[in-house]
Amino acid sequence: ETGVTQTPRHLVMGMTNKKSLKCEQHLGHNAMYWYKQSAKKPLELMFVYNFKEQTENNSVPSRFSPECPNSSHLFLHLHTLQPEDSALYLCASSQDFSGGLFEQYFGPGTRLTVT
Amino acid sequence: AQTVTQSQPEMSVQEAETVTLSCTYDTSESDYYLFWYKQPPSRQMILVIRQEAYKQQNATENRFSVNFQKAAKSFSLKISDSQLGDAAMYFCAYRSFYSGGSNYKLTFGKGTLLTVNP
C-alpha cells in the first residue's frame, strides 16, 4: 500500500452504534488530520496530531473521539452519532509542522451514513 | 481569519478546450501558500498545483497553470486541452507561510464541480 489509506470506505450506522474509522499513512509523515466534508460546504478540520500529540480539536462534539497510537495510524471513534454527522470523513498526513511547505496528502475517505 | 471563495459551484468544458476556475481569498498576511486540489469521483483528493505568494511567476504543471494576482487576491486555475479525466471537484486552499501556532491549517473554498463533455 502506498500513500494514505482509509477503512472502511463506506459505513452505515445507527445512532446508538459504536464504530471506528481507521487511517494509515505509508509516507513516513509525522502529522495526521481528520476532516469532515459535507455537501456544499468547505472542508472542516476536526483534529490534528503532530508526533502523536493532539494539537487541534476544532470544537468537535465529544461523540467523535480521535486516537493516534503512532505516527502512522489515526482512528476516529464514533458513538451516539446524529443524522447530521453523515458526511465524507477524510484523513490526511503531512511531514510535520517544523517549517517549509509540509504538503498534505489525503486518503480516499469514508462515506458515513447515520440512520 | 482567512477566507477562500470559489464563486462557481459548477463549470463545464468541452474536451480539448480550455477552462478557467476562479478563486479569491482574503488575508492580511503577506506571505502564504495557495493550492488547487482535485477530488475525482473516486474521492481521493490530490494536489494539482501550488503557488508561493512571494514568487511572482505563475506556477505551471503540464496542462494546469495558475493566474496569481496578489494585489487582487485572486488565484485562478486554467486547464488547457481538457480531458475526460479532468472531471472532478476542484478546491482552492490557502495556508499561511509561517509554521507557528495554527498556521499549518489549510483553509478551503467550497469547491467547483467541473464536468468535461466529450
Scanning every residue of chain B, which has its alpha carbon at the shortest distance from the alpha carbon of A42? B110
pLDDT at residue B89 is higher than 80: yes
Q: To the nearest whole number, what is the mean pLDDT of chain B?
A: 92
From A32, A19, A31, A22, select the one nearest A86 (Cα to Cα): A19
Instruction: Give residue B1's pLDDT band: very low, low, confident or very high (50, 70, 90).
Output: confident
Q: Identify any residues that bridge with B19 across adjacent strands, giving them in sequence order.
A: B79
Residue B113, phi then psi, degrees to nearest 5:
-85, 115
- Which residues of A sit within 8 Å Cβ distance of B? 31, 40-43, 45, 48, 56, 88, 90, 94, 97-109, 111
A52 is written with which cell numbers? 502523536
List CB contacts (< 8 A) between A6 and chain B: none
Between A12 and A52, residue with greater pLDDT: A12
Query: What whole-number distance in Å separates Cα of residue B96 and Cα of residue B79?
Result: 25
Instruction: Give residue A1's pLDDT band: very low, low, confident or very high (50, 70, 90).
Output: low
List CB contacts (< 8 A) between B38 and chain A: none
Query: What whole-number distance in Å separates Cα of residue A18 and Cα of residue A79?
Result: 4
For position A40, what pLDDT does the model report?
A: 78
Query: What whole-number distance in Å separates Cα of residue B42 and Cα of residue B44?
Result: 6
pLDDT tens-place string over residues A30-72: 999 999 999 878 899 999 998 888 887 778 999 999 999 999 9
pLDDT at residue A88 is higher than 60: yes
Query: What whole-number distance in Å separates Cα of residue B18 and Cα of residue B96?
Result: 30
How buried is B96 (Cβ within 10 angstroms: 0-12 exposed, 13-18 middle, 19+ buried)? buried
Scanning every residue of chain B, which has its alpha carbon at the shortest distance from the alpha carbon of A50? B104
Scanning every residue of chain A, which has its alpha carbon at the shortest distance from the alpha carbon of B42? A108
Residue A100 to residue B99, Cβ atoms within 8 A: yes
For A42, which of B33, B44, B110 is closest by C-beta distance? B110
* Mean pLDDT of the region A82-104: 85
For residue A10, give how far its alpha carbon lies from the nearest alpha carbon of chain B (Å).
12
For chain B, report the end-to-end CA distance as a whole number of angstroms: 41
Task: Give percent above pLDDT 90 in chain A.
Answer: 70
How buried is A59 (Cβ within 10 angstroms: 0-12 exposed, 13-18 middle, 19+ buried)? exposed
Query: What whole-number distance in Å separates Cα of residue B23 and Cα of residue A41?
Result: 15
pLDDT at residue B56 is higher than 60: yes
For residue B46, give how far its alpha carbon lies from the nearest alpha carbon of chain A (Å).
7
List CB contacts (< 8 A) between A41 and chain B: 110
pLDDT at residue B99 is higher than 70: no
A65 is written with which cell numbers? 473521539
For position B21, what pLDDT does the model report?
A: 98
For residue B14, give how far its alpha carbon lies from the nearest alpha carbon of chain A (Å).
24
For position B102, what pLDDT does the model report?
A: 66
